[in-house]
Structure 1
Amino acid sequence: MYKQQGISLVELMVSITVGLVLMAGVVQLFLSSKVTFTTQQAIARVQETGRLAIDFISEDIRMAGYVGCLNTANSSDQFVNYLNNGETTLYNFAVPAEGIDEDQIDVSYPDHSSNSDVLLLRSANGAAVGVTGNTAKDRIYIENTDFEEDGCDEDEDKYSGICKEDILVIADCTKGRVFQVTEIEGSSTSDTVTLFHSDDDGFTPGNNIADSGDDATEKENYFFSDAQVFVATSTFYYIDDGTSGRPSLFREINGESQELLAGVEQMQVTYALNGGDYREAKDVADWGQLTGIRVELLVSSDDDNVLQDVQLYTFNGQEDQNPGDKRLRQVFTSTISVRSRMPLMEIGK
Structure 2
Amino acid sequence: MAKQKGFSLIELMVAITISLLLMAGVVQMFLSSKTVFTTQQGLSRLQETGRLAVEFMARDVRQAGFFGPAYATSWNMISTLNNKNQFGNDYSPETAMRVFNGDSLPAGLVLNPAPNSDTQVVAVYTASDMSVPVVQQNDSGNVYVELTTPAGQDCPSGICEGDILVAADFEKMWIFQVTGVSENGGMVTLAHGAGSDPGNQITEWGGNPDYPTQDVNPGAEVFRLKTSVFYIADGPNNIPTLYQKVGREPSFPLLVGVENIFYNVGVDTDADRVANNYVAPEAVANWENAVSLQLEALVMTPGDNAASDKQTYTFAGEEVTADDNRVRKVFRTTVAIRNKLL
User: Does the pair score TM above 0.5?
Assistant: yes
Q: Structure 2 CA distance, aligned partners of 1:253 and 1:80? A: 23
Contact persistence 1:81–1:94 (CA under 8 A): no
Does residue 207 in structure 1 map to residue 189 in structure 2?
Answer: no
Aligned-residue offset at 1:126: 3.5
Seen in structure 2, the aligned counterparts of structure 1 residues 214 and 225 have a Cα distance that, compared at 3 Å, is: closer
Number of residue pairs matched by the alignment = 330
Amino acid at match of 1:220: T
Does residue 194 in structure 1 map to residue 197 in structure 2?
Answer: no
Q: Structure 2 CA distance, aligned partners of 1:168 and 1:39? A: 48
Choose the corresponding residue for 1:235, options 203, 228, 233. 228
Equivalent residue number for residue 95 of structure 1: 95
Does residue 127 in structure 1 map to residue 121 in structure 2?
Answer: no
> Normalized against structure 1, the TM-score is what?
0.89
SS at match of 1:128: strand
Deviations 1:201-220, CA, capped at 9 Å, x for gaps: x4111111122256311112
Q: Runs of 5+ in structure 2 lacking a partner? A: 269-274
Equivalent residue number for residue 53 of structure 1: 53
Seen in structure 2, the aligned counterparts of structure 1 residues 147 and 263 have a Cα distance that, compared at 3 Å, is: closer
Q: Structure 2 CA distance, aligned partners of 1:148 and 1:163? A: 15
Q: Runs of 5+ in structure 1 lacking a partner? A: 152-157, 344-349
Aligned-residue offset at 1:123: 0.7
Aligned-residue offset at 1:340: 1.0
Aligned-residue offset at 1:115: 2.4
Choose the corresponding residue for 2:175, options 163, 174, 178. 178
SS at match of 1:25: helix
Contact persistence 1:139–1:194 (CA under 8 A): yes
Q: Structure 1 CA distance, aligned partners of 2:168 and 2:23? A: 74
Deviations 1:80-133, CA, capped at 9 Å, x for gaps: 111111224435323201111356453433221112100011111231111112
Q: Structure 2 CA distance, aligned partners of 1:337 and 1:286? A: 17
Deviations 1:106-164, CA, capped at 9 Å, x for gaps: 3433221112100011111231111112222321110110189993xxxxxx1111111
> Normalized against structure 2, the TM-score is what?
0.91
Equivalent residue number for residue 341 of structure 2: 342
Amino acid at match of 2:54: I
Does residue 85 in structure 1 map to residue 88 in structure 2?
Answer: no
SS at match of 1:225: coil
Q: Percent identity?
A: 37
Q: Structure 2 CA distance, aligned partners of 1:149 and 1:239? A: 30
Equivalent residue number for residue 266 of structure 2: 272
Q: Structure 1 CA distance, aligned partners of 2:90 and 2:104? A: 17
The two structures, once aligned, show a CA RMSD in angstroms of 2.1
Between Structure 1 and Structure 2, the one with more strand by share is 2
Contact persistence 1:137–1:222 (CA under 8 A): no
Q: Structure 2 CA distance, aligned partners of 1:148 and 1:8? A: 81
